[in-house]
Chains A and B, each alone.
Chain A
Amino acid sequence: EPEVTQTPSHQVTQMGQEVILRCVPISNHLYFYWYRQILGQKVEFLVSFYNNEISEKSEIFDDQFSVERPDGSNFTLKIRSTKLEDSAMYFCASGRGGQPQHFGDGTRLSIL
C-alpha cells in the first residue's frame, strides 16, 4: 500500500537556524498537510496546500514557516529561524479531498 514518507526521522538543530522537513506524499493525492505534536499535547493543524498554494493555515503558521512543493513529488516545511518552542513531532499528511488523510511517521525536531 502506498505511504507517505518523511525525512529525516529526527532532526537536531541549534536555535536560530533554518530547518527543512521533507515529505513525499502519496502520488495521486492532491491535498497536502503539515501537523505538529508537542510532546504530551494534541496533534495541531499547521497548514494545508492544494493546487500549488496554501489553502488554509493556523495561527501557529506565522512568517517563520513556509511550505513548498518544489518538484511535483516532494512537499517541504521550512522553519526560517527556529525557536525552542518549535521542538515537536511534525507530521506530513496527504489526501484526496474528502477522503481520509494518510500520515507519515513524522520527524522529531529538537531545538537546542
Chain B
Amino acid sequence: GDSVTQMEGPVTLSEEAFLTINCTYTATGYPSLFWYVQYPGEGLQLLLKATKADDKGSNKGFEATYRKETTSFHLEKGSVQVSDSAVYFCALSGASGGSNYKLTFGKGTLLTVNP
C-alpha cells in the first residue's frame, strides 16, 4: 500500500538556520503531496501542496518540490524563525485515482528553533 517515510526528529536549529526535512513516498499511482504543520495544542494545518511531478509548493518561506524520479518531497526553508517550532507531517493522497482522497501521513518531525 501507499506509505510515507520522513526524517525522524527531533530537529533543533538556531534562528536563521537552513532547514531540510526529508520525505520520500511509495505509491502505486500518481499522488498529490502535502506538508501539514501542527503547532503546540492545535490541529493540522496545510502548509503547502504539489499535485504533479516537478510542481513546487511554497508558503511562508517554506518550499517543497515534487520529484517523481526520486519519489521525494523534501521540505526546505532558508531561514527559520522561533515561530516555526512545530511538528511537520508529510502526506500523500489520491495515489489510486478515483475518489480516494484519504491522506497517508509520515510519522512527523518535531522542529525546535532556538533564539
Contact residues of A with B, CB < 8 Å? 4, 6, 31, 33, 35, 41-45, 48, 50, 55-56, 91, 93, 95, 97-98, 100-106
B71-115 residues at the A interface, CB under 8 angstroms: 89, 91, 94, 99-108
Mostly helix, strand, loop or mixed at chain A's interface? strand
Contact B105 A98 (CB under 8 A): no
User: Size of chain B's interface in residues, with CB distance under 8 A?
Assistant: 24
Q: Does B12 contact A (CB under 8 A)?
A: no
Give A105 to B45 CA distance when docked, in angstroms.
9
Contact B43 A48 (CB under 8 A): no
Q: Does B25 contact A (CB under 8 A)?
A: no
Contact B103 A105 (CB under 8 A): no
B48 CB, nearest partner CB in chain A, Å? 9
A34 CB, nearest partner CB in chain B, Å? 10
Contact B43 A33 (CB under 8 A): no
A26 CB, nearest partner CB in chain B, Å? 13
Contact B43 A35 (CB under 8 A): no
B44 partner, pick from A43, A48, A56, beta carbons under 8 A: A43
Q: Does B17 contact A (CB under 8 A)?
A: no
Inter-chain pairs besides A48-B102, A98-B32, A98-B51, 17 sampled, C-beta below 8 Å: A4-B43, A6-B43, A31-B99, A31-B101, A33-B102, A42-B106, A43-B89, A43-B103, A43-B105, A50-B99, A55-B99, A93-B103, A98-B101, A100-B46, A101-B101, A105-B42, A105-B43
Contact B99 A97 (CB under 8 A): yes
Give A101 to B32 CA distance when docked, in angstroms.
12
B107 partner, pick from A41, A97, A105, beta carbons under 8 A: A41
B residues near A98, Cβ cutoff 8 Å: 32, 51, 94, 101
